[in-house]
Structure 1
Amino acid sequence: MPVSSQHKVYLPAAARDNQYLLAEFVLSDELVARFPSSSTEAPYQALYQDLAQKLFALTDQFGLRNVHFIANGKTPVVRFHQEAYVLQTAEQILFFYNPSYHEAHHSFFDPKVRTRKISLLFLATEQPLRSNAASFHQQVTALLTEFKNRLALANLQIKVRDHQHLTYDLFAKAKGSKESYGFKLRSIDARYKARKCELPKHSALTYVIVNLPLSRRLKEQVAIDLQSTAPYLPLYQHVSEQFVSACQQEKLQHLAVLANGLLPLVRNSQYDKSSHGQELQMIGFDHSIENGQLISDLQGDKLVEMMQLVIFATPADQTDMGYGRFMNEVESALRRFAKAVNLQPERDDLTVRFHQHISYHS
């Protein structure tokens, strides 16, 4: 394979793009004190409405068309969809949208409850998203600067997270989607510098999450004893062993295998510790562990609809050209894994989501 081809990964033309920025700051006593309320029914309504109005007043000025104010402690999750939906659970607020044509401004808060932090969510809308990512980032940070000026709070720190991901079916070609595009998958920092967008000191994460539906054919590969206290553990262990083996052959060593029904949130363990709630699981990787890392959470007493397989990229996986070589290794490992567990490309889906994100305080 020519050297240039090794550093490009060819993804289906139908691969879906998403980008969003999440800006968060602590709701301080100083800010709460500006809006004294005699109402016991909705003591924080005036505060939240004022902050939301300040935010939305700036969106037209800075050309941002899909922006949300969140003050209910829930974690935003963003996914591509042809129709626009916002769904809330106890721990999540899920935004489904198509960047090509969905626009919205919404506020989500409980006027009776003082939230710990305020979250401002900015969804990218300018296609093509990847080419316009730096411009979108600059629009958002310019708005945040003006938003901070209008709040006029001493020592206000806003944490900014820029999330970008590409989602596709590994078996798209077998299902008739023949067209593909080559990606070098450069780091966010490198792409932004090329477009004259200089980032402050920041941390960066790159990883892949694979969604594996547990089909009947997959379940039938392992004997399941329903009289056991953990009847599904052999199935999960079978999948885990095949996945880890396939990855190790490509020297991919920072892995997670999850079968617990929770949504994984990947973080750097130097800053965030692993934890989980009723719906979300934070998993922390430490790329400095040279001999690799396997995080496994297999709840054998519970049958899940889908397992999540995570492959975390280390600095060694990034070349001067980007993460194209890393993704070729990931795809090779996944195809080997798919063969080992007898997935059928024409019928089965193996959804791959390539994540890149950065975070810093402004």
Structure 2
Amino acid sequence: MGIIRNRSLISRNKQQDNRVYVPADSRDNQYVIAELAVNDALVAQLSDKTLNPSPKELLSLLLNKVRRIVANHEIDFVALIASNKFIRVRYGVDNEINTTNEQHIVYYNPEKSKGVVGVCADDANAIHSFRLVCFATGENLRENAALFHQKVVMLVNEIKAAFSFVDAIKLQDHQHISFGLEKHSSATQSKAHGFRVIEKRYESSGLTLPQERNSKAFIVVKANFSELLSEKVLNHEYDVSQMHGEVSHLLIQLAQEAGISHLAYVASNRYPVVKSNLVSGSANQNGELVSLNFGNTEHEVIQLIDDDYINSNAYLVFYMAENCVVKAGYAAYINKVIKLIDKLGQKLHLAEHDKAMLLRFYQHFSYKA
């Protein structure tokens, strides 16, 4: 009987590892970007052969036609962006788009954001593409992700037909879920997620994705070592980069012990953008952004701590290489990261305030339609 109980216990432990307990107040989002290359044929159709229309004029002309097409589909919130800047999406009370030198930061509320809006950077002299960003709204976004993706595909097909657009359109499906680690517990009001790979989720909804596609998944933990920083600076006369250096070295050591081999520690005013299948284990800095390039080698660690960085915030990034993708999904890996962060907090004797970190799990894929 003892052996049976032990086997039962092992089975329960494995089952728990393959489920992540996500707090009830977690936030989902999904947005699909369709990228239309700007070519002479498209310009001619939009401008009725008007010579040299400006980017803003082109945006206005396309926006009028897109609004009519969007009205035929059940997609509530759409942004048409005439700019090559990086698009970052966050939850907001209502839809709002803030533009910086290198980014469009879109705030939207899946419960009530509506409309079709246009964005063109003030300094845009020429554009290479229009990006149509379709945002999922309503409830149960993850469960309905495949349905929303199909709606966007039908919208894009109608746009292609309306403009006799023969070029392939790149589709990028972005999804993420965020929650506070301090509320992660099976004892709290929470939902157990298996976090299957997108292909499996979509197949269960009757949608098969093209074979030729790029996929990636990663975790970003937003940490704030405010009280630890105050203690180090006041009591030990550390500078900020020295404190971040100690934390990053400890994180890397604990990650190696936990079998986590693709990670980055970023203490910088630049926002980290995760790339894949590029030069492995490197970080490319460019103004407001830093590109973290991960491949599929066995071990890739990126440490980026700016000498002039004066804040207590840091991004802890965990990239899921292909060998981390299993049929059971990503839950076991996410739980491993959560345990790693908990152990880091214990080793650093973090105060409760500093333990309240935000975890975001990202899943992306793209293909040409």
Confirm or deny a common fold (TM above 0.5): yes
Report what 2:7 is aligned to. Answer: none
Q: Does 1:131 align with 2:143?
A: yes
Shift of residue 339, structure 1, vs aligned partner:
1.6
Report what 1:69 is aligned to. Answer: 80
* CA shift digits 1:219-275 (9 cap, x unpaired): 4236445xxxxx432111111012112222220100111111111111113399853
Matches within 5 A, 1:13-28: 13-28=24-39
Matches within 5 A, 1:156-175: 156-172=167-183
Shift of residue 126, structure 1, vs aligned partner:
2.7
Take 1:113 and 1:47, find their aligned partners in 2: how far apart are those partners? 12
Report what 2:311 is aligned to. Answer: 304
Matches within 5 A, 1:122-201: 122-154=134-166, 156-172=167-183, 178-200=188-210, 201=212
Report SS of the residue matched to 1:171: helix
* CA shift digits 1:248-305 (9 cap, x unpaired): 2220100111111111111113399853321112211012x12x10112110222135
Report what 1:285 is aligned to. Answer: 294
Report what 1:242 is aligned to. Answer: 250
Question: What letter is aligned with 2:218?
Answer: Y
Matches within 5 A, 1:1-362: 1=10, 2=12, 3-34=14-45, 35=47, 36-37=49-50, 43-110=54-121, 113-154=125-166, 156-172=167-183, 178-200=188-210, 201-221=212-232, 223-224=236-237, 231-270=239-278, 274-287=283-296, 289-290=297-298, 292-345=299-352, 348-362=355-369
* CA shift digits 1:119-169 (9 cap, x unpaired): 111110031101100000000011111111112133x12111111111011
Take 1:57 and 1:158, find their aligned partners in 2: how far apart are those partners? 20
Take 1:244 and 1:279, find their aligned partners in 2: how far apart are those partners? 25
Q: 1:315 to 1:173 in 2, by over 3 A?
A: closer
Report SS of the residue matched to 1:96: strand
Take 2:22 and 2:171, find their aligned partners in 1: how far apart are those partners? 29
1:81–1:97 CA contact under 8 A, matched in 2: yes
Take 2:366 and 2:330, find their aligned partners in 1: how far apart are those partners? 19
Report SS of the residue matched to 1:221: helix
| Unaligned runs of at least 5 residues, structure 2 | 1-9
TM-score, length-normalised on structure 1? 0.90
Take 2:172 and 2:51, find their aligned partners in 1: how far apart are those partners? 36
Shift of residue 38, structure 1, vs aligned partner:
5.7
Take 2:94 and 2:117, find their aligned partners in 1: how far apart are those partners? 16
Aligned residues: 350
Single out whichever of 24-33 and 324-333 deviates more from structure 2. Answer: 24-33
Shift of residue 110, structure 1, vs aligned partner:
5.0
Take 2:230 and 2:97, find their aligned partners in 1: how far apart are those partners? 33
Report SS of the residue matched to 1:129: coil
Shift of residue 89, structure 1, vs aligned partner:
1.1
Take 1:344 and 1:130, find their aligned partners in 2: how far apart are those partners? 33
Shift of residue 96, structure 1, vs aligned partner:
1.5
Which of the pair is proportionally richer in helix? Answer: 2
Take 2:245 and 2:76, find their aligned partners in 1: how far apart are those partners? 45
Identity, % of aligned pairs?
A: 26
Take 1:217 and 1:158, find their aligned partners in 2: how far apart are those partners? 48
Take 2:86 and 2:55, find their aligned partners in 1: how far apart are those partners? 20
Take 1:163 and 1:44, find their aligned partners in 2: how far apart are those partners? 26
Report what 2:6 is aligned to. Answer: none
Question: What letter is aligned with 1:315?
Answer: E
Single out whichever of 184-193 and 48-57 deviates more from structure 2. Answer: 48-57
| Unaligned runs of at least 5 residues, structure 1 | 226-230
2:170–2:368 CA contact under 8 A, matched in 1: yes
Report what 1:228 is aligned to. Answer: none
CA RMSD of aligned residues (A): 2.3
